[in-house]
Structure 1
Amino acid sequence: MPTDVAAHFSTFPAQALPHLLTIRQWLFDISEQQELGVVKECLKWQEPSYQVAHGSPIRLDFKPRQPDSVSIFFHCQTKLIDTFRQRFSDCLFFHGNRAIELPLKQPLPKAPLMACLTLALTYHQVKHLPLLGW
């Protein structure tokens, strides 16, 4: 983990850290399993950001004004959140057209999140497909 990203992770409260670190690991796992190449990890807008060559950026964060959840942010001008909402509105919470919010008191919904993260990491390969190829 780059030094600036590690420093930022150290500012997250203890209750948020397990969710955020798990999601981070899933991003690297997906990239490896799908052979998507190197995951670029850096800070963008003071949030940990992850991107691969043919994917859309993904950012993770905890906001003190929303102390009971963590968020995964996606580029708002993509079809990602609209597609996720059509598929997973029964098990994921969305904030506008840019974020999935995950309650800290609930386990991470692994299967839906892995599907969403995979679509974001492969976005430029599937963006022309209806429902991003789902």
Structure 2
Amino acid sequence: MMAIPVDPPFQTDAVAQVFGAFPDAACVDLLRLRALIFATAAEIPDLGPLTETLKWGQPAYLPAAPRIGTAVRLGISKPSGTALFVHCQTSLIADFRQTFPDTLTTEGTRAVIFAPGSALPDAPLRLLIRDALTYHRKRG
């Protein structure tokens, strides 16, 4: 991995190693998404700290407290580009697609896909991240 500032620092060496294995261009994009996840989480009242871990070999971010939200994962989409993944059995991507039909490319019920080096639409992504990190709060 090229020398890219990481803020906040990685919580585990395992996550750092996964980021280090990404191609440089993808790593830059994924670190931008990671920073957006932490910034969005910091704005959610009573969310508490985020846990940064690996799920299915991908960097994953979820509230440290149980039953608040679902994980947001980062990785490379098989068709192309980088991706922000959510649990496929949630309504998050369908809700996102309905609210922002022409904003970003989605992949089924599990991901939002980004072209390499593309601009990140801040407001829609913050809403998706917020909805994922508080998913269980909204459902009872």
The bucket for the TM-score relative to the shorter chain is 0.7 to 0.9
SS, match of residue 54 in structure 2: strand
Task: Specify the alignment match of 1:87 in structure 2.
Answer: 99
Matched, 1:61 2:71: no
C-alpha displacement of 1:27: 1.3
Task: Specify the alignment match of 2:50 in structure 1.
Answer: 39
Task: Specify the alignment match of 1:112 in structure 2.
Answer: 124
Partner Cα separation in structure 1 for residue 101 and residue 90 of structure 2: 18
Identity of aligned residues (%): 38
C-alpha displacement of 1:55: 1.0
Task: Specify the alignment match of 1:76 in structure 2.
Answer: 88
Q: Tell me, which stretches of 5 or more residues in structure 1 are unaligned?
A: 129-134
Task: Specify the alignment match of 1:6 in structure 2.
Answer: 16
Task: Specify the alignment match of 1:50 in structure 2.
Answer: 61
Amino acid at match of 1:117: I
SS, match of residue 119 in structure 2: coil
Once the two structures are superposed, residues 75-116 of structure 1 have per-residue CA deviations (whole angstroms, 9 ceiling, x without a partner) of 111111110010112111110111111111421111111111
C-alpha displacement of 1:127: 3.3
Q: Tell me, which stretches of 5 or more residues in structure 2 are unaligned?
A: 1-9
C-alpha displacement of 1:73: 0.9
Partner Cα separation in structure 1 for residue 91 and residue 25 of structure 2: 31
Task: Specify the alignment match of 2:7 in structure 1.
Answer: none
TM-score under structure 1 normalisation?
0.87
How many residues are matched? 126
* 4+ residue segments displaced more than 4 Å: none
Contact 1:79-1:127 within 8 A present in 2 as well: no
